[in-house]
Structure formats: structure tokens, C-alpha cells
Amino acid sequence: MEQLSSMLVSVVVCTHNRGSLLSEGVPRVLEQQLPAGPYEVLIVDNASTDDTPERAGNLIKQHPERMRHVREGRLGLSSARNAGIRHANGQIIAFIDDDAVPEQGWLASLVSAFDDPVVACAGGPVIPVFQGELPAWFSPQLRTYISIFDKGSEPVPLTYNEYPRGVNLAFRKTVFEAVGLFSPSFGRKGRSLMSYEEIELCYRIERAGWTILYVPGASVRHTVHADRLSRDWFLRRFYWQGKSEAYFDLIHRGTRFIAQKLLEHASFSHARELMTSQASNSEGFYLLCRRQTWLGYLAGVIQGLLTAQPLRAHGQARAFSRISPTRVV
């Protein structure tokens, strides 16, 4: 493994106006046992306007030798993660969401994946903790859209587009120098449910010849908040999924591929129009969600072509060495 510093791992926790969640997950991160070397916890406050800085500061006062706090003023999950990467001291950078709690052995299992020098990214199971009852219209096909992830009890190499979930994944730091950072075109930003940030980055990593590994022992419990168990939230989630896929295809697939995909989307949408308009059961609601994906994809293609924003942001993400650091608190 590359000897970049004496710090083996940096665990990055990004948060925006959810400082109250840090008091559950961060202490469990600090309980992780890592015989292989030291690790730090880096909280990235992404443009919070509540008491997140104070709550993060209180945690750091309790563990000043192991925790740091970074303020990232540019709103967006990808910007926050990039700030964490720039300020991380570790040879390995592990990301965990502010509403996730790691199981014991999570960090050691992630780190062990990087004993293989061809592994650049690793992630493990995401176990849901539902806040409320699952509605009658909830179907198995919806599980992946709330980051539920389980590939079984054995390590498995992962390929596009079945990569680790952003709530629970780690990278070898040197891979960012090779392929760049997270693209700010993707990832949550304010009320937008834009996604695909880890998929787009992992795709670049895979194309560069590195291995991405599923690690069964590196599991986390992830809270599925009650507001995410509503029909309106899933319809929005699928719309933004379509827009995210459109941006990805504009960057990596080209207009011919997009034209074919638009035809496939349109055919599916019209064939199911009558059924989805009356959607009340789980199958019908899933088809209605799929139709929202088509609408989001169409909007993403039009916006992306008119503004060229996805391609510009992709170029910025690739320029790792030209991005200046943010302020450390």
C-alpha cells in the first residue's frame, strides 16, 4: 500500500442542517477497532444554517486528537465529499452518511479490501431502519432507491451499474489523482434529489482498470426517514433518477445512445399509460415511477444539451490538482 502519510484512514461524514444526527453515528464510528493503523473522523459541514457547527464542535472537544471539522460553503453533496477528500490525511478515505450507524467491524472490513493493490473502491451492505410502516404500494423494486444494498455473504467484484451505495463506501486516496473527484453535476443539492455521483465516479474508476469490491463484513444501518415512505417522494426520486441518468449518458455515452434510450423510454411510457394512470397497487405504482424516470431523462437531456453544464462539471471533477482547499475549522 502507498505510504502517503502515517494516517491510515480518514472517515468522512458529510452533513447539511442535520447536526442532531451526528450524536448517534459518529460515536459508533469512534468505537471502531482498527489494528492496522490509526484513523481520523472528519465532519464536513455543507453550508448548514442550523446548529450543526456547534454540535460538531462539541463532539470534537470530546475527541480532539481524532476528529476535525471542515466547512464547505458550496451547497451540494459532491462538493462536500470533495472537501473531505482534499482535507483527508488518510491513505484510505471512507464515507458514511450522517444518518447511518456502522456495525462493529465495519471499518476493519473496509480497510482489509485494500490489501489487494488493484482494489480502488470498496463498500458493504446497507441495512434499512424504517421510521414507520411500509405502505401497501411499496414493492421490492423500490428498495434500491432508498439505498438498500446486499450482495450476499461473499466478496464480489462490482461493475457498472451495480456499485456500492454512497452511504457506505471507501476509496484509495491515490485513485482521485488518477481519475478526479466527484462531479458537482451529480448528488443531492438542496431540495434536488439528483443522484448518481458515486456511480459516475466508480464508472471512471472501473474504466481506468481498477477493481471495485463488495465487502460483506462492512455493513451499516441506515435510517429511512418517514418522509421517504410517501408516494410523492418516490415520484420525485424517480424523476431525478432519470435526470441523473441523462447527465451520465451525455458525458459517457453520446447522443446516438441517448436517442435510442429516449425511444425505449417513450415506448415503455405509452404502452403503460392507461395502467399507470390508475396506479393503486405496488406494481402499478412502480410503473408510474418508471414513467417519471422517462420525464426526468427527457428534461435532463434537453437541459444538458442547452447548457453543457454536465460536461463542464465533468472537466472540473477531473482536474483534481487545480482545486484549492476549503477552510478547516
The yes-or-no verdict on residue 42 having pLDDT over 60 is: yes
Q: In CATH, which of 3.30.1280.10, 2.40.10.480, 3.40.190.10, 3.90.550.10 is domain 9-229?
A: 3.90.550.10
The yes-or-no verdict on residue 68 having pLDDT over 60 is: yes
pLDDT confidence band for 36 (50 / 70 / 90): confident
**Considering only CA atoms, which of 90, 89, 64, 74 is closest in space to residue 14?**
74
CB-based contact 213:119 (threshold 8 Å)? yes
Q: Give me the pLDDT at residue 263, please.
A: 86
Question: How would you class 136 by CB atoms within 10 Å of its CB: exposed for 0-12, middle for 13-18, buried for 19 or more?
Answer: exposed
What is the grid cell recorded at 85?
A: 477528500
Average pLDDT over residues 301-324: 83
The answer for residues whose C-beta is within 8 angstroms of residue 299's C-beta and 6 or more apart is 239, 242, 243, 246
DSSP 32: -
pLDDT confidence band for 231 (50 / 70 / 90): very high
Task: Give 261-270 pLDDT, tens digit per residue.
Answer: 998 877 665 5
